[in-house]
């Protein structure tokens, strides 16, 4: 592209361009009619997030300090004056440095035209100046309680992200070029895709992130060989077929989160954690949670513990003939696992000899931006929805997670699908992400209120399960804690707090990347990095731990295997599914995962 224009863009054919504009108008009319029809069926929706109240309080606080507000406005004017000066200098041929640059990793402005074409460079910089000014201004308001301040900051960022020039046809050079070169056909395809997404979401815009027809569970994802050896109303237990002649004596049970399906641990052959563990000589069992419907509305958190984890442990004992085992708890599966370990310790059940936690929180006092969604007004709204249906739909929870990384998980797909008119790329991870599960009303309400809102799991006896006070300080077995540096769902600072609760030996490892890639990182790929600290007792804070940590290249999996292998007993002949007291009920990945 040229410095000050779009000279390399082919101008549209007037007749075809006009025909496509007529199609766009027709599709747009349908969108408006559908929107109005939905609104007429749902008049006067409440403000369940209480956003209006938070911003009213912020505005009132701002008006009590008019001098600060004026100073903030002057700062913005000074920045704009500098931007105008630089733009004028560049127009006459003088090289200038940008007043403001996108953050590292901001992919919205990666197209070269944002830098090379002066008008788009000016649009980009003016947006970045305004966006950062808005966020800095709301963050500097004094007198707000912490919850309100975080809510205002979060939703200001949501607004700022939504208003980015990359999200609009006339201010995105890549989209503008595509519109000219295709005579607007990209916008026609985009509107058709939007209509289809609205139809698929039954009125809710279910933005397609990948080609959902490109993957099939059990065919090209979740393909590790194994058998279902146990089933009850909330889980299937899969035992994987060994690939080594001998295995460690103590079997390994994995408890994944119930908000997503277990096969994040078994996407493809080259990144399957399950296949990797089997190849290392472990007898691997995985819980596959049911996708609950209204019939399971009253299933509780302690039911998931007793009929989930405890019955699964009983089944592993029966399948292998071994009393002792090791376990893994992943994300909220780890929260449940911690509760179960405290319950077992209090009742004298010592079958679990070591536990690993992946991105699992037990002290929720600093649980990150998800706490924005957990105030009383929002919980009442969620509970009302669940009372009507008996469960929380997984897509609603997924939408919340996507808001935490809106530019990557919402707006990038809006631009790709609706503005550029492209099909989303087939990506197994995003297929899994879209394959969300429901959550029983009773269990999910308990989890949100007692963990996120009240933080009772971190208090000795704060929770009582099956009549037993839960105290994590009674957990004295060896524990391996993994967290990821860029995790936006289970922040590393929050995960680290567990090091101060468990009373046995604790090894904490910090991985690079985020909630998924930080965990699913096979060593052979050579990606990211991890940090270890060999202090015998973990320091009080993550900051102190990090100060004494050593950075190592690549995955943390090998470090973990060295740790777990020493706690898994001697090698014994490999066990085949069905060899023990449990008979084979079907092939992996089972039936619950396809519900």
Look at residue 516 and give its three-state secondary structure.
Answer: coil
Domains in the chain and their CATH numbers?
Answer: 14-200 (no CATH), 226-368+460-594 (3.40.50.1820)
Do residues 218 and 228 lie in contact, with contact meaning Cβ atoms separated by under 8 Å? Answer: no
CA distance to 25, 418, 499, per residue, from 186 (Å): 14, 8, 52
Tokens encoding 521: 């990182």
Check residue 537 and give left, alpha or beta (phi > 0: left; psi -120 to 50: alpha): beta
Do residues 351 and 323 lie in contact, with contact meaning Cβ atoms separated by under 8 Å? Answer: yes
Do residues 278 and 247 lie in contact, with contact meaning Cβ atoms separated by under 8 Å? Answer: no
Hey, which bits of 333-407 come out as E strands?
Answer: 352-358, 391-392
Q: Answer yes or no: 331 catalytic.
A: yes
What is the reported pLDDT for 40? 42
What is the reported pLDDT for 382? 85
Tens-place pLDDT, residues 211-267? 888 999 999 999 999 999 999 999 999 999 999 999 999 999 999 999 889 999 999
* Cα 593 from Cα 217, distance rounded (Å): 8
Instruction: Give the distance between the most distant pair of CA atoms in the chain.
Output: 83
What is the reported pLDDT for 4? 45
Tokens encoding 484: 């990821």
Cite the DSSP H helix spans in 42-144: 51-63, 66-91, 113-116, 118-139
What is the reported pLDDT for 19? 60
Question: Could you say which residues of the chain have pLDDT below 70?
Answer: 1-59, 61-63
499-514 per-residue burial string, b: 16 or more CB within 10 A, e: under 16: bbbbeeebbbbbbbbb
Tokens encoding 452: 């996120």
Tens-place pLDDT, residues 73-122? 788 788 888 888 888 888 888 888 898 899 888 899 999 999 998 888 98
Tokens encoding 167: 């999200």
What is the reported pLDDT for 28? 52
What is the pTM assigned to this prediction?
0.85
Name 431's Cβ contacts closer than 8 Å, sequence gap at least 6.
Answer: 210, 212, 214, 215, 221
Q: Which of 331, 441, 463, 475 is catalytic?
A: 331
CA 422 to chain centre: 24
Q: Which helix (H) or strand (E) holds 530?
A: strand 529-532
Phi, psi of 548, rounded to the nearest 5 degrees: -105, 15
């Amino acid at each position: 592209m040229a410095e000050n224009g779009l000279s390399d863009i082919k101008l549209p054919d007037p007749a075809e361009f006009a025909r496509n504009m007529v199609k766009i108008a027709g599709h747009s009319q349908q969108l408006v009619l559908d929107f109005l029809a939905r609104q007429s069926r749902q008049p006067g929706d409440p403000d369940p997030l209480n956003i209006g109240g938070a911003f009213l309080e912020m505005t009132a606080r701002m008006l009590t300090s008019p001098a600060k507000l004026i100073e903030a406005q002057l700062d913005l004017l000074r920045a704009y004056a500098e931007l105008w000066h630089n733009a004028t200098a560049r127009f006459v041929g003088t090289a200038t440095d940008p007043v403001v640059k996108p953050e590292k990793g901001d992919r919205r402005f990666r197209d070269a035209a944002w830098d090379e074409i002066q008008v788009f460079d000016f649009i980009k910089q003016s947006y970045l100046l305004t966006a950062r000014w808005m966020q800095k201004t709301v963050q500097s308001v004094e007198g707000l309680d912490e919850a309100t301040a975080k809510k205002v900051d979060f939703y200001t960022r949501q607004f700022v992200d939504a208003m980015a020039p990359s999200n609009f046809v006339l201010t995105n050079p890549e989209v503008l070029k595509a519109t000219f070169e295709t005579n607007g056909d990209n916008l026609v395809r985009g509107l058709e895709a939007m209509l289809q997404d609205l139809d698929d979401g039954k009125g809710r815009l279910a933005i397609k992130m990948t080609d959902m027809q490109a993957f099939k569970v059990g065919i090209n994802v979740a393909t590790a060989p194994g058998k279902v050896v146990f089933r009850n109303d909330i889980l299937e237990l899969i035992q994987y077929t060994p690939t080594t002649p001998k295995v460690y004596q103590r079997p390994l049970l994995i408890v994944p989160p119930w908000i997503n399906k277990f096969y994040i641990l078994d996407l493809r052959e080259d990144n399957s954690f399950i296949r990797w563990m089997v190849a290392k000589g472990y007898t691997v069992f995985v819980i596959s949670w049911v996708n609950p419907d209204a019939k399971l509305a009253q299933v509780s958190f302690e039911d998931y513990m007793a009929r989930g984890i405890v019955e699964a442990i009983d089944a592993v004992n029966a399948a292998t003939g071994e009393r002792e085992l090791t376990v893994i708890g992943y994300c909220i599966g780890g929260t449940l696992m911690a509760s179960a370990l405290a319950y077992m310790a209090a009742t004298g059940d010592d079958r679990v000899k070591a536990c690993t936690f992946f991105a699992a929180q037990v002290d929720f006092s600093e649980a990150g931006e998800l706490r924005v969604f957990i105030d009383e007004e929002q919980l009442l709204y969620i509970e009302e929805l669940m009372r009507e249906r008996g469960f929380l739909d997984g897509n609603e929870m997924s939408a919340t997670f996507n808001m935490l990384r809106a530019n990557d998980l919402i707006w990038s797909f809006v631009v790709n699908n609706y503005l550029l008119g492209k099909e989303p790329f087939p990506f197994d991870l995003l297929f899994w992400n879209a394959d969300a599960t429901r959550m029983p009303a009773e269990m999910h309400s308990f989890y949100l209120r007692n963990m996120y809102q009240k933080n009772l799991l971190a208090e000795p006896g704060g929770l009582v399960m099956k009549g037993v006070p839960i105290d994590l300080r009674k957990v004295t077995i060896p524990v391996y804690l993994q967290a990821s540096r860029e995790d936006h769902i289970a922040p590393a600072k929050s995960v680290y707090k567990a090091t101060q609760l468990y009373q046995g030996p604790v090894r904490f490892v910090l991985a690079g990347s985020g909630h998924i890639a930080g965990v699913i990182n096979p060593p052979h790929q050579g990606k990211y990095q991890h940090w270890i600290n060999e202090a015998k007792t973990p320091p009080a804070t993550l900051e102190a731990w990090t100060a004494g940590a050593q950075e190592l290249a690549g995955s943390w999996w090998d470090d973990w295997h060295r740790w777990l292998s020493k706690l898994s007993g001697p090698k014994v002949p490999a066990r085949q599914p069905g060899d023990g007291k449990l008979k084979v009920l079907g092939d992996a990945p089972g039936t619950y995962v396809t519900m």
